[in-house]
Structure 1
Amino acid sequence: MRKLIVYFLVITFSVVSYAQNKPAYKLYNAKGNKVSYKKMIKKMSKADVVLFGEHHNNPIVHWLQLEATKDLQTQRKLILGAEMFEADNQNELNDYLAETIDAKALDTLARLWNNFKTDYKPLVDFAKDKAIKFVATNIPRRYASQVFRGGFEVLENLSVEEKSWIAPLPIAYDKTLPGYVKMKEMMGGHGGDNLPKAQAVKDATMGYFILENYEPNSLFVHYNGSYHSDDYEGINWYLKKGNSSLKISTVSVIEQENIKKFNKENKLKADFIIVVPPSMTKTY
């Protein structure tokens, strides 16, 4: 009998050990050192703005965004915002938060991403339940498309109302920022100078609406594709240009086959880097 108990204990320990060796993600700091979730939340809670970068189709990152938001809400007054909502849909988003329209109506009236229900609705519903302000920060995509075709100059032709949905003109722009240079190189010159400009007008607009809605002694948590804030550029650059005293905490995500050993080339990508296996199930 004793041998049987020992056998089952060994089997159980082996199963647990095997499971522990298959983590879904690992957290690292900017220097590539492992860091705990608790420490990440502690640092985030002391910031003015958190730029929580994501891969749009990664479920682990979306789960971490929701859990981090819940934990931060117990420590700070929060304001939330997201790339996934365009500024001209703010009224519809407000109506949903105020429960004057339901989810079906929001889907009809606003331009929601295809993965809204699985990946972003939980965040919006949390804001609704806790009466937290949620800001639609992104430029309406049609205007970014116009910039891609005709440069910043096309924005001058917008109406007064349309201009209220984008960063104030003229759009500040530094074409030498490594992220914009790399974007142009990766596309082999396709789109010319207007490709990074279309990216910049999104970054500028998101930064503008974060600054416009930020309140002293609050924490603004913003959800965006990691490429909009990686390497402390993009939205981060515009925030610092608008308010150099802001304390900003950034998050990025990378995929690695071996998530237990940080790839050195990804150092300084963000304050916190979520490493996930490429085999992780995608939401689309």
Structure 2
Amino acid sequence: MKRFLKFLCMCLVMNMADPVAEAALPTTADLVIVSSTDDKPVAAGQMTKNLAGYDVVFFGEFHDQDVLHALEYDVLKQLYAIHGDKLVLSLEMFEADTQPVLNKYLAGEVSEADFLADSRPWPRYQADYRPMVEFAKTHKLPVLASNVPRFLAAKMAKAGTLENIEAEYRPYLPVKTSAPEGKYKEKFTAYMSKGQGKMQLPPHMVDQVFAAQCLKDDKMAESIFYYLQNNKDKVVYHINGCFHSDGHLGTVERLEALDPSLKVGVITSKDLPADKNYRKTYDDAKKDGEYVVYFPRVEKQEEK
């Protein structure tokens, strides 16, 4: 149980397994991207062009799938070709209290070593997210450290409240947060109980872990919202785990509630069946985003 809670609190609803030994790994050429508007496959470049009129583009990933990181990077470059210096990169993978050191690194005021020492990068940052941060640095694009500090999410998951946190940490919390009943909680509860016998949580713990999930959603949504409030002409490209954005729930739902005028697009990621017949699951998958990226999953070794 303790191991599971630690797993959840570090990054809720994510895959954090180690990469397998070298194999015939998939590339972006192996992906199938389908437009939910007309149910037709499209090239990545066409998808990005079609998203050019959106104020915010969410890419919902599985954190342990290299091919998705490669596509995210391609989409970043393509969005930059369209929007230039209006583009802003936003990442679940950096937390709000690390924004100052992230800004200093982007401005060339601190070394990469100092930046990484002070920013709590995710374990596979170098391979998965560094290319995007370095692209932003090279092209002088802002990067939002959008997430709530993970130790606050961990405290919420464990205690169910943040009433007693120290005053110095309160600025990094969302202005408002809630964990309401409804479709998102139903989905979350089903996920937590889906065939994971030894990982099942008692009901009160599900509520607390869900509250921590919503804390992250609210903080990421507010990070994007307040940035756009102060920078009206910008376009945000946000990367997060797909649970945070699938079906326009989670972070997307919170952002759209903050500003219903925003045009928000979601790219969702789904497993490509071995026979490549994605149509078997497409009717459900298309509900999760404007574009569905089917990828050949690379199974990961379990953490020891």
After TM superposition, the score normalised by the length of structure 1 is: 0.85
Q: CA deviation at 1:23?
A: 4.6
* Structure 1 stretches of 4+ moved >6 Å: none
Task: Describe the superposition over 1:108-141 as per-residue Cα deviations: whole angstroms up to 9, x where unpaired.
Answer: 1110001100110111101100110101000001
Identity of aligned residues (%): 27
Q: CA deviation at 1:159?
A: 3.9
Q: CA deviation at 1:74?
A: 1.8
Q: CA deviation at 1:33?
A: 2.9
Q: Tell me, what secondary structure is at the counterpart of 1:268?
A: helix
Q: CA deviation at 1:253?
A: 0.6
Map 1:251-266 → 2, pairs under 5 A: 251-256=267-272, 257-262=274-279, 263=281, 264-266=283-285
Q: Tell me, what secondary structure is at the counterpart of 1:213?
A: helix
Map 1:187-266 → 2, pairs under 5 A: 187-188=192-193, 190=201, 191-214=205-228, 215-256=231-272, 257-262=274-279, 263=281, 264-266=283-285
After TM superposition, the score normalised by the length of structure 2 is: 0.79
Aligned residue in 2 for 1:274: 293
Contact 1:27/1:37, CA 8 A, preserved across alignment: yes
Gaps of 5+ in 2: 1-27, 194-199
Q: CA deviation at 1:150?
A: 2.3
Map 1:21-170 → 2, pairs under 5 A: 23-30=29-36, 32-76=39-83, 77-151=86-160, 154-169=161-176
Gaps of 5+ in 1: 1-21
Mark the structure with the bigger radius of gyration: 1
Contact 1:184/1:195, CA 8 A, preserved across alignment: no
Counterpart code for 1:26:
V
**CA root-mean-square deviation:** 2.0
Q: CA deviation at 1:145?
A: 1.1
Task: Describe the superposition over 1:35-86 as per-residue Cα deviations: whole angstroms up to 9, x where unpaired.
Answer: 2323311122110001111111112111111111111112211011100001
Contact 1:139/1:165, CA 8 A, preserved across alignment: yes
**More off after superposition, 230-239 vs 270-279:** 270-279
How many aligned residue pairs are there?
Answer: 258
User: How many Å separate the matches in 2 of 1:204 and 1:122?
Assistant: 27
